Amino acid sequence: MSFTDEETKRAADTKEWLEAQITELEEQLAKLREALLVVDSVLKRMSFRKAAELPPTAEVEAPAKKEVAPQVSEVRQIRRGKEGPLISNAYVTSTTVSIVPTTDVKLSTSTPPFESFFVNRIIEGMKQKDKDLVEKKQLTPENTLEFSVDEKAGLIEKIVIKNYREKQRLDEIINTITWAFARMLEKKAQ
């Protein structure tokens, strides 16, 4: 089946418009997630009551200890190329960076260069430097870099890196995951 030049142009224009719409919606989704984190934080602070304000009871049970999620201070968009489509967002707190691929980006940890470069060279290199600092007593073990990947059906849902500690390290993590994701998408397209 052949198409006229006009039909081909119309299809290309429609594709371009759809890609722009998807990018815009993903950016809106990232902003909505950030706003939700802010609202959650406000609600947590507003619902907190001091023990002195509670009505007296016969027995007082110790409440279960809850971890309070640190507030996201920055959301960095990770794009394929400088002006390319959004492929993930990096949610940055003072101690943690969480990298969440967009819903249409399907990547596996087994796709090169995720394990070979990002994990084995970059992350493991940072962990080794932290281990050396611990041995020299310049860093406590609880402040060493931690790395985890949440997967669902073999696909990356979220990458969490705790205790990056330095802006330079954060930038290196974001730059290398941007490069790795772009290469992974290229390999997937082949």
Tokens of 68: 């309070």
- Within a domain: 75: yes
d(CA 73, CA 92): 6
Query: How far is it, in rounded angstroms, from Cα 146 to Cα 124?
Result: 10
Residue 182 lies in a domain: yes
Distances (CA, A) of 149 to 29, 101, 156: 22, 12, 7
pLDDT category at 12 given cuts 50, 70, 90 is confident
Strands 86-92 and 96-101: antiparallel
Q: Is residue 167 a part of any domain in this protein?
A: yes
Give residues with Cβ within 8 angstroms of 187, minimum separation 6: 111, 112
pLDDT in tens, 137-161: 999 999 999 999 999 988 999 999 9
Lowest mean pLDDT among 3-12, 47-56, 80-89: 47-56
Tell me how far apart the alpha carbons of residues 102 and 161 are, in angstroms, rounded to a whole number.
18
Q: What is the DSSP secondary structure assignment for residue 141, as one 8-state letter?
A: G
The closest of 179, 175, 143, 181 to 162, measured between CA atoms, is 143
How far CA 44 is from CA of 61, 69, 116, 188, in Å, comes to 21, 10, 41, 42
Order across the sheet with 96-101: list the strands: 74-79, 86-92, 96-101, 155-162, 146-152
Number of domains in the chain: 1
Residue 58 within a domain: no
Q: Could you give the CA distance from residue 27 to residue 79 in angstroms, rounded to a whole number?
A: 11
Does the residue 60 lie in any domain? Answer: no
> 51: Cβ–Cβ under 8 A, 6 or more apart, which residues?
none
Is residue 59 situated within a structural domain? no
Q: How far apart are CA 140 and CA 13, in angstroms?
A: 56
The model's pLDDT over 111-123, given as tens digits with 9 standing for 90+, comes to 999 999 999 999 9
Q: pLDDT averaged over the chain?
A: 82
In a domain, 62, yes or no: no
When computed from its CA atoms, the radius of gyration of the chain, rounded to whole angstroms, is 22
In three-state secondary structure terms, 125 is helix
Q: Look at residue 65 and tell me if it is in a domain.
A: no
Range of the domain at 18: 5-53+71-189
Reported confidence tier of residue 48, pLDDT bands at 50, 70, 90? low
The Cα 189–Cα 97 span in angstroms is 28
